[in-house]
Amino acid sequence: MAAASPDSRLPTQYNTLDSEDDKSVHIERAQGRGGILEKHRWLCAAAACLLLLGGAAIFLRQRSPQGTLTVAGPIELYALDAKPKADRRSYQYHMLPNGLAVLNIQDQKSTQMAMAMAVRAGSFDDPENLPGLAHFCEHMLFLGTEKYPESGGFDTFLSKNGGSSNAYTANEVTVYFASASKHAAREGLDRFADFFRAPLFNEKFVKKEVHAIDSEHQKNLQDNGRRVFELLNSLADPRSVVPRFATGDFETLYEVPKRNGTSTVEALKTYFQQRYCPGQMRLVTFGPDTLKDQLGFVQEAGFGQLPEGDEICTKSARNFSSPAPFPPERMGHMLTVKGTEETGQLWLRFQLPDLSKEFASQPFGYLDYTLKYGGQDSLFHVLKTQLGLISSFSTEADPSSTGTGVFVVFRLTPLGFEEPQAVLDVFFGYLASLRRKGVDEGLYESLKDMYKLSWDWEGAADAEDAASGLAEAMTRLPKDKLLTGDSLIEEQNPALVQSLIGLLTPSNMNLALVAPASHGSKLFRNASWPVKTLPHYGVQYVDRPLAMAMPDALERWSAWLNGQPALDKGLRQQLRQRLVASNISMVLDSVTLPPRVPDAIDGIPKHVSLKHMNASEEASVSRPRQSMRGSENELLSAAPPPSIVEKSFGPVPVSLELGRGSSFLKSSKPSNDVWFRSGWITKSPKVKLELIFRTLDVPEGPESKASDEILLSIYNRLLSEEIGPELFDLTASGSTYGLTVEPHGLGLSFDGFEEALPNLIAKVLKAFNRFNEERNATHPERFARITKAIKQDLQTFSDMPVRYAQEAAGVLLSRNSFSQQESLTALDEIINSGNGPLSATSAAGNFVLSRELQTTALVMGNLASESASDALANVTSGLQKPSWVHAVPSPEGARVNRVPLVVNPNVSVEVRATNPRSGDPNDVALVMLLWGVWDVQSRVMLGILSSLLRTTAFEELRTQRQLGYVVSAGTGLKSNVLYVVGMVQGTKLDADNSEAALEGLFTNLIPRALSNMSEQDFQQHVDAYRQQLLSPPLGTSEELDHFWEHIKTGGKCMHLLDEALSFMKGPHCNKQLAVDMWERLAFGKKSDGSETRRQKISVKFFAAGNVSAEEATVPKRPSLEAARKAWDLQGVAPRAVEMLTREWHEAKVVDRADSQVRQELARDGGYFPQDLRCHIDESVDGTSDILHAQMTQGKVMRKTA
């Protein structure tokens, strides 16, 4: 629960996977988040948007490269003045003479520029004989233009300027976007314009990029959600564009065209000519430059001179509605599908009309809310908590000109998978009730109010997201509805909503029952229908008519939907018959059937006070921390001028004295770690409270056990199920809360309008206290269902394998963390103990509420100090110790563990294990080099080098060598320990050779890049990084998190960014220091030539092939001779071979990453010091050796007993 003072602008936990076209994926995994489709923003978004008002024709003066002004002619500009109340940006829209629509956005405080181009061309435009061509075009556009022919030139330019780029291909649009330091605007736009004027489409890159696309597709093959989505779409009329293969692969883009004598490049050029013309493009620019200057940059870059294109492009109507993809004869399928996860799923797909023109009434918003409503006796509550048939469900829409596909996805419990008809009975019973009630205009009106409230005060999108999101919106919304069209309900249309509800019928549905992966081949053992395989995805399934699979059910559901009067009785009778074999059938009389349809949202603020909303930049308190005793004006009048960072993030919070109830529990120790600040630098009328109550522990005392973690995981799920529904209506009106119990503390958060906070706090704490007191109230069936769900989660590896490699490295370094196998073993022990339910419901009392606790808190936002003190007192006095809890005294020497310990391995560690995803063909290699405890200088220097690492790894290992879809490198932070990491996931090399390739990156490619870099180039990287650090917060969460991360570690590092910026201005922030630091990190070499030991952790996962991960064997570790050959082949610097040889001999090689291995490493090497070095030592001359000596100063190689 504590973090070692990470700052959001300096290197923190590394969690970025650089892979091409992450946003090309049309589906997100259904697991956890509930999202399955890439949403178009018109669904229910409340992002920052625009309302375009009238305009006037002006004469634009174009700025030439020499700085002179030339008249470009009259352009009609539309000022966008109506916008969210929190939006401080300025907007203008205009159409260039060649037909290109342009939106300029000015954010005066931003240090970043961004640009995006949306093209009305997507996978629906693919030629039938070249599936994936639109996606291929997206890739090839980045690989050189006439003016800038270098294949990696754009990425190199962005890297020098602290930027990045990406793109995605959707059904009917392709969006390209990039961001960089504000100084890069003119050249960046010039390079970007050449993408769309003169791309090279170089033949020599075709095979490489097709391999990249094929790697992307291979990743999708293991994605359960993507597979089922494509399978359901494959049922569409084959003449429609819907069932087409959108991604493309090596077969469709290389092998088949080659066999047919088709030139992919010529087809690409034709496609570009017919789809990429100004009339089909929408450009957005973003930055601190004035709107006039941005428009000048656009003209200067040549966007206005892009050729208008041929008639096919300029007059393209582009409507894919005919033939209809899902006429009645294409509906009524039931698919039984072999899944890739351990959790069964039930997918329903309904076909609705194209709703793209209905944005003003947001009809799907109403439908979405009524289906996903989570209050007491709701559809979700009945299916999950009362009946135990599902663990979660989601509803999403896939809109296009072909119509709107509505997906309802249930994640099933084992009982739900065995009885899917019971799930469907409740679902259609609810729809019948919803249809009978009709559209509730009061609910519709309250949704309208909530949309407006959220839109007004939502945090701003970052530069890249703002540009790319609005570019996409420009392809489908009129200019006067660009933001309101996605975010507001401007008019109610009950008749339309009712008609959509009327289309949610069995006859307008296709259904897929997805089996857990463990069912394997036995799923189809007795199938009387043929087993089919979906082309390109390899999904095995059986397709039956729904009328034959569930004949009585169809008749029953249709009768309910058509108004059969005995709905509640008939539904209850059906469930009793279906669930007769389970204990649930015995308690059906207490189940709410049909589930309750929600009423209007209550408690939406009508008149929001803004009295304390703004935090004055002049109100900074930079001096040593003070208590809020005197008047705030008295304190502020004595404050020095604000620092640079305070101008971005606002005044540093000050100490707050609690009044009544300042002790959380009688046994709690009072704490001075309570902080407050009134107002925001960003604009919001809301208030945020963050609190943690931490146990007092001996720093290197015994770790928690895996069983402790699992018991608390069960506890948190039980708690959420118990109190979530009764608190749902509170959160629907704009408030949120968070409540998490961990082995060493309790975390609470509240977010809402001041007037709603007392009621929110009181109800949350009342529910929490009641749950802890009534520990015997949990039904054994609920405990059994939740433990089964946790077991399924622990047995499921649905993410990319490289994510599990990251987790494995974390387990080796961080105390109180465990492997999934350890957690599974602990879970089985709890289940078999006979006392599981009571142990789980008592977990918070036994592990946390029985202990001495120290309070750390921060209140920020639209309230005065007195109100903040009252709010915190309401929390600390409202929490109660259960009557059955007995106090446990803290051990001698115990204290709050503010900076989590990190293992300090004294040897290299190599993990060799099987890829945990059965059937996944990829090998994975992760190499982590530990720098050690960070200080200001090291965090800055490695932060600067991070972009060089990322770009070099991607260009050399991914683009040039095609080692895999996922290739990534960068810097990160684990507690107070800084590290560099590189990762490769792919099929081209095995994990041993991929590790060698990463060593080649560290020992050859990066030193070469630094050697070739001039001091001027390096200072350009420094300036770009400085601009990143100076970027102002985009919303209240970012603003609060900046301070909260420091407060959790004692508040000593509040001015870390100021220290970093000061160092960057000084003479020691230079290329030579970067070279010296990299020498020590990558080679273990000091600047005087002497050696030190590298601290390296490598994690290698080997593909299991056609057997399960459990049955697979890991290849024997290569001999030293074989390793040397790999180092040579993969480009390792010759001068690194001796060091690698020594590490090969000394390495600790293990077959797993778990707590036992970690404890062995800690026993031999101890832990890094828990120091926080937040200030520059002026005596340090800047050399890497002295920096490292300072970093390890006073270091004790602590050993565990």
Q: Which residue has the tokens 């899944």?
A: 339
pLDDT of residue 586: 57
Q: Where are the beta strands (DSSP E) in 1092-1140?
A: 1096-1102
Task: Return the C-alpha torsion angle 769, 771, 774, 776, nearest 10.
Answer: -150
Mean pLDDT rounded to a whole number for the chain: 88
pLDDT of residue 322: 93
C-alpha–C-alpha distance, residues 871 and 761, integer Å? 8
Which 3 state secondary structure label does DSSP give 399? strand
Sequence-distant (6+) residues with CB within 8 A of 1041 are 8
pLDDT of residue 1193: 40
Q: Are 462 and 685 a contacting pair, CB within 8 Å?
A: no
Least confident span in 90-104, 411-425, 658-672: 658-672
Residue 204's DSSP bridge partners are none
Q: Which residue has the tokens 């009508």?
A: 606
Q: Are 178 and 115 a contacting pair, CB within 8 Å?
A: yes
Look at residue 717 and tell me whether its pLDDT is greater than 80: yes
Look at residue 485 and tell me whether its pLDDT is greater than 50: yes
Look at residue 1003 and tell me whether its pLDDT is greater than 70: yes
Which 3 state secondary structure label does DSSP give 61? strand
Q: For residue 602, give both structure tokens.
A: 């209550």
Task: Return the C-alpha torsion angle 413, 419, 422, 427, nearest 10.
Answer: 60
Confidence of residue 315 (pLDDT cuts 50, 70, 90): confident
1019 exposed, middle or buried (CB, 10 Å; 0-12, 13-18, 19+)? middle
CA 418 from centroid of its chain's CA atoms:
33
In percent, the amount of the chain with pLDDT more than 90 equals 75
Q: Are 85 and 293 a contacting pair, CB within 8 Å?
A: no
Look at residue 71 and tell me whether its pLDDT is greater than 50: no
CA 859, 865, 867 angle in degrees (round to 5)?
Answer: 85
Q: Which residue has the higher pLDDT, 1105 or 779?
A: 779
pLDDT in tens, 330-378: 999 999 999 999 899 999 999 999 999 999 999 999 999 999 999 999 9
C-alpha–C-alpha distance, residues 124 and 319, integer Å? 10
Q: For residue 1142, give both structure tokens.
A: 């020594």
pLDDT of residue 672: 63
CA 228 from centroid of its chain's CA atoms:
22
pLDDT of residue 1106: 67
Which 3 state secondary structure label does DSSP give 359? coil
Confidence of residue 594 (pLDDT cuts 50, 70, 90): very high
Sequence-distant (6+) residues with CB within 8 A of 1006 are 945, 948, 949, 952, 1078, 1082
Q: For residue 499, give both structure tokens.
A: 């008609």
Least confident span in 20-34, 563-577, 811-825: 20-34
Which 3 state secondary structure label does DSSP give 982? strand
Confidence of residue 660 (pLDDT cuts 50, 70, 90): low
pTM for this one?
0.89
Q: Are 472 and 34 a contacting pair, CB within 8 Å?
A: no
C-alpha–C-alpha distance, residues 1098 and 1114, integer Å? 15
- End-to-end CA distance of the chain, in Å? 25
C-alpha–C-alpha distance, residues 164 and 342, integer Å? 36
Task: Name the residue among 814, 1102, 1175, 820 with its Cα closest to residue 972.
Answer: 814
Confidence of residue 798 (pLDDT cuts 50, 70, 90): confident
In percent, the amount of the chain with pLDDT more than 70 equals 88
Least confident span in 491-500, 830-839, 904-913: 830-839
574 exposed, middle or buried (CB, 10 Å; 0-12, 13-18, 19+)? buried
Q: Is residue 476 left, alpha or beta, with left meaning phi > 0 and alpha meaning psi from -120 to 50?
A: alpha
pLDDT of residue 459: 87
Q: Which residue has the tokens 């778990």?
A: 1154
CA 1095, 1101, 1102 angle in degrees (round to 5)?
Answer: 135
Look at residue 678 and tell me whether its pLDDT is greater than 50: yes
Q: What average pLDDT does range 459-463 have in this prediction?
A: 92
Q: How many CA atoms lie within 13 A of 730 on its CB side?
A: 23
Least confident span in 185-189, 781-785, 792-796, 1102-1106: 1102-1106
Q: How many CA atoms lie within 13 A of 1030 on its CB side?
A: 21
Dihedral of alpha carbons 1048, 643, 610, 1039, sign: negative
Phi and psi for 69 in degrees, rounded to 5? -110, 135
pLDDT of residue 1168: 96
Q: Are 304 and 70 a contacting pair, CB within 8 Å?
A: no
Dihedral of alpha carbons 566, 569, 575, 580, sign: negative
C-alpha–C-alpha distance, residues 932 and 935, integer Å? 9
Q: For residue 447, give both structure tokens.
A: 């949704």
Confidence of residue 1116 (pLDDT cuts 50, 70, 90): very high
C-alpha–C-alpha distance, residues 210 and 216, integer Å? 10
C-alpha pair distances (Å), 606 with each of 391, 484, 611, 684, 1115: 36, 20, 15, 15, 66
C-alpha–C-alpha distance, residues 24 and 41, integer Å? 16
Q: What is the DSSP letter of 27?
A: B
43 exposed, middle or buried (CB, 10 Å; 0-12, 13-18, 19+)? buried
pLDDT of residue 642: 76
How many C-beta atoms surround the C-beta of residue 483 within 10 A? Answer: 26
Look at residue 527 and tell me whether its pLDDT is greater than 70: yes
Least confident span in 55-64, 410-419, 907-916, 1156-1165: 55-64
Residue 92 host element (H or E): strand 90-95
pLDDT in tens, 600-611: 999 999 888 999
Q: For residue 188, give both structure tokens.
A: 């960046």
Q: Are 348 and 407 a contacting pair, CB within 8 Å?
A: yes
Confidence of residue 671 (pLDDT cuts 50, 70, 90): low
Sequence-distant (6+) residues with CB within 8 A of 718 are 771, 778, 782, 783, 786, 840, 841
How many C-beta atoms surround the C-beta of residue 105 within 10 A? Answer: 22
C-alpha–C-alpha distance, residues 796 and 804, integer Å? 11
59 exposed, middle or buried (CB, 10 Å; 0-12, 13-18, 19+)? exposed
Residue 778's DSSP bridge partners are none
Q: What average pLDDT does range 92-96 have in this prediction?
A: 96
Confidence of residue 735 (pLDDT cuts 50, 70, 90): very high
Look at residue 19 and tell me whether its pLDDT is greater than 50: no
pLDDT of residue 830: 96
Order the strands of the 686-695 sheet from edge to edge. Answer: 654-655, 669-678, 853-861, 686-695, 745-753, 736-742
pLDDT in tens, 110-146: 999 999 999 999 999 999 999 999 999 999 999 999 9
